[in-house]
């Protein structure tokens, strides 16, 4: 009746999508000036900062719904790679409490990779 792997995929999608969506809503309310500044420091045109809205607002909604979840997770994975590059320069330095400084975006990246590899499962709009 219940397939535990489909339930696990559902939990993964919902947790990833909801947690990232909070970041996107924050950026929608407060703006993306900080991201524009980080891009300009690295010599990247500020226009690319608007991509964060795709990665942290649109993609999470698709992931939650299970609508082209693999593609949406791909967008999110690229977004997290950019976050790790811009904010942490891919440094594996330790943070204030002993964990990796870039722990959160790294975990989101890994979760996005899992959605890419596993698909959306049975409990999705287009269940593949």
pLDDT by residue (tens digit) across 28-45? 999 999 999 999 998 999
Going from the C-alpha of 50 to that of each of 33, 90, 92, the distances in angstroms are 10, 21, 27
In a domain? residue 75: yes
Cα Rg, the chain, nearest whole Å: 15
Query: How many domains, in total, are found in the chain?
Result: 1
In a domain, 19, yes or no: yes
Rounded Cα–Cα distance for residues 47 and 73 (Å): 22
- Domain of residue 49, residue span: 4-118
pLDDT digits (tens, 9 = 90+) for 83-111: 999 888 888 888 888 888 889 999 999 99
Is 29 a domain residue? yes
Q: Confidence band (pLDDT; 50, 70, 90) for 127?
A: confident
Residue 126 lies inside a defined structural domain of this protein: no
pTM of the model: 0.91
Q: Is residue 72 part of a domain?
A: yes
128 falls within a domain:
no
Span between the terminal Cα atoms of the chain, in Å: 18
- 9-44 CB burial, b ≥16 within 10 A, e <16: bbebbeebbeebbebbeebeeeebeebbebbeeeee
Dig out the tokens for 50 from the structure.
């608007």
């Amino acid at each position: 009746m219940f397939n535990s792997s489909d339930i696990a995929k559902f939990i993964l999608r919902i947790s990833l999508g909801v947690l990232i969506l909070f970041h996107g809503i924050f950026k929608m309310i407060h703006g993306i000036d900080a991201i524009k500044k980080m891009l300009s420091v690295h010599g990247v045109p500020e226009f690319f900062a608007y991509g964060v809205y795709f990665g942290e607002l649109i993609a999470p909604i698709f992931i939650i719904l299970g609508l082209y979840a693999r593609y949406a997770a791909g967008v999110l994975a690229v977004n997290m790679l950019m976050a790790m590059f811009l904010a942490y320069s891919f440094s594996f330095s330790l943070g204030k409490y002993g964990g990796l400084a870039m722990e959160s975006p790294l975990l989101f990246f890994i979760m996005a990779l899992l959605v890419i590899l596993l698909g959306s499962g049975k409990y999705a709009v287009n269940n593949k």
